[in-house]
Chain A
Amino acid sequence: RKEVEQDPGPFNVPEGATVAFNCTYSNSASQSFFWYRQDCRKEPKLLMSVYSSGNEDGRFTAQLNRASQYISLLIRDSKLSDSATYLCVVIGYSSASKIIFGSGTRLSIRP
């Protein structure tokens, strides 16, 4: 089993739709969680950190479910510019912990 798993998609949704995707992780000791966005042929960029209580940034909401070991990203009122690949990132607590990337979920917003 992969340490971090994401549905690769692609998710193809109309503009204005709400879309959500999950990322599951296998190590219950994981400590920090992030969503990154990667545009085609560009580097990943931080979209948002994921906090235990859940957090929102405009149209984006991130949730963490420690009991079921997954994080989620919800995008409301999707825009054409939201088309990208979304990577989840999981980091452990200790200094030796690896940074684990999901393989990414491809999202395509159509007009």
Chain B
Amino acid sequence: DVKVTQSSRYLVKRTGEKVFLECVQDMDHENMFWYRQDPGLGLRLIYFSYDVKMKEKGDIPEGYSVSREKKERFSLILESASTNQTSMYLCASKLTARGANVLTFGAGSRLTVL
């Protein structure tokens, strides 16, 4: 089974702090994704990457950046955290971009920004 590991399950940060969320997958998947999930808004795509050093903006990239230096690792960076970035962050990976192969999620990182 594919394993997607997010390094931090719970974080509490202060406004203006830099935040790193790390995600590692162990099945050589090409595609990796960062979502945030908020009540009533569902899952929203922040950024995705289809290869090493490649990244694409999702639906809500503002206030975030990403890094993919190695195939197995996809990092989400909040340069200056704000209270409206309090959310559940979910990393996911997928073998290829095209349809039928499944998307596997990490356990999530719940971030609170004070």
Contacts and interface: CB of A to CB of B under 8 A. Distances in A.
Interface string A75-104: 000000000000101011111111101111
A45 interface: yes
A32 B98 CA distance: 9
B104 A42 contact: no
A57 interface: no
Smallest CB-CB A-B distances: 10 pairs: A32-B99, A103-B42, A43-B105, A95-B97, A31-B99, A101-B43, A32-B100, A91-B99, A43-B108, A46-B102
B38 to A, nearest CB: 11
Contacts of B97: 94-97
A34 interface: yes
Interface string A16-31: 0000000000000001
Contacts, number: 55
Nearest to A46: B102
Interface residues of A, number: 25
B95 interface: no
Contact of A101 (B42, B94, B96, B98): B42
B34 to A, nearest CB: 12
Question: Is the contact region of chain B dominated by helix, strand, or loop, or is it mixed?
Answer: loop
B107 A104 contact: no
A98 B98 contact: no
Interface in B47-104: 50, 88, 90, 94, 96-100, 102-104
B33 A99 contact: yes
Interface in B11-58: 33, 40-43, 45, 50
A49 interface: yes
A101 B101 CA distance: 15
A101 B41 CA distance: 11
A89 to B, nearest CB: 7
B108 A42 contact: yes
Contacts of B100: 31-32, 49
